[in-house]
Amino acid sequence: MRAHPWRARNSASVYPRPRLAPVMSATRLNTVIASWIAAPGARHWGLMAVPDLSAFMYTNSTNPRTAAGRSIPPGAFMARRSPPAPVGLDVADARIQLVEQIRRVPKAPPTIDLQSYVGSPVPVLGLSVPQLRRILKDFWRAHRDLDEKSVNALARALWPGQTFEEKIVAIGLLSQYEKVLGDASWALTDGWVDEATGWGLSDSLAAGPVAGMVRSKPARFRAILRWTRATNLWRRRASTYALHRYVRAKELDRPFQLLEKLLRDREFWVQRAVGTWLRECWKVDRKRTEKFLVSHIQRGLPPVVVSVATERASKAFRARLRRMNTWKRAPKR
């Protein structure tokens, strides 16, 4: 009988396709299984025991010479190679490199006292936002596959830094790797909220990684509701900036629920934050925000809240609220 023109020269296959791997014959398979019936570590299936083959793969080549140059008979089982383990991040070295980058960046001479301006508890070097973003972007490009544990470890190492920028980079690092953040990251940032004093740090932390984690797991909204009762004014302020993602997504039910709890807070920095986020709500839904303000103005609202919240409202509406407002300033101590 004439051989099929497509049959491979050394192929044991009966299928008319070129270079097909041989199918292990029943005889060979039975021989292999029989030789392993009593093998240690065998898996028992019914009356027959076969070894654990999960770590092996069947060679489908008829060439007795492998790519590695070793002689392996056709049909033999080869150990399956595991992928290389990921290399862990050297946190100490990464921190040193980031701090050096921060300090090497050329800085324009400040025209104002930056530390006082942002209310920072530590000195401010004066890096611009684009410069800080570039540092974070370059780091991300070199370490795209970090897991939550590594990101948290590096952020935790940067947070106690001696400059405002080191703390901002710690916050920005969490935002850069937002997709891997989980409960451990939430616990980490929750511990920073009271320490992030001054609007520069507080707002960056709350509107950045905290807002992202609140939006990704709605159960955390209950946590920021509790923040509205905190004794620390910066935690109360942070609860408003943590609404950032909800407002941006035009989901205003939860923002109004939280802001209502802080409408009559006595601290200026909290009042201003409430006004800021009511203004942002106004940009999304003007009618609903105006109705919200009118419904609460008769009980009195701090003038700062009203002024900031209505920055984009008509003069007539702003004048109406001022006439209706019954807010009384707290007596000076």
pLDDT in tens, 149-166: 999 999 999 999 999 999
Q: What is the pLDDT of residues 188-230, one digit of tens each?
A: 999 999 999 999 999 999 999 999 999 999 899 999 999 999 9
Q: What is the mean pLDDT of the chain?
A: 82
Q: What is the C-alpha separation between 241 and 204, in angstroms, rounded?
A: 9
- What SS3 class is residue 56? strand
Q: Residue 143 has what pLDDT? A: 94
Among the residue ranges 103-112, 149-158, 300-309, the one predicted with the least confidence is: 103-112
Mean pLDDT, rounded, for 229-234: 97
Rg (CA), the chain: 33
138-143 long-range contacts (CB < 8 A, ≥24 apart) are 138/101, 139/94, 139/98, 139/173, 139/176, 140/176, 140/177, 143/89, 143/94
- Looking at the predicted structure, is the pLDDT value of residue 17 above 80? no
* Cβ–Cβ < 8 Å for 132, 172: yes
The 8-class DSSP code of residue 7 comes to S
Residue 300: CB partners within 8 Å, gap ≥ 6?
Answer: 264, 325, 326, 327, 328
Backbone angles phi, psi at 144, to 5 degrees: -75, -25
Contact 69, 17 (CB under 8 A): no
The rounded distance, in Å, linking the Cα atoms of 252 and 286 is: 11
Residue 13, pLDDT > 80, answer no
pTM of the model: 0.73
In degrees, rounded to 5, the angle at the alpha carbon of residue 70 between the alpha carbons of residues 69 and 74 is 115
Tens of pLDDT, residue by residue over 77-98, are 444 454 443 457 899 999 999 9
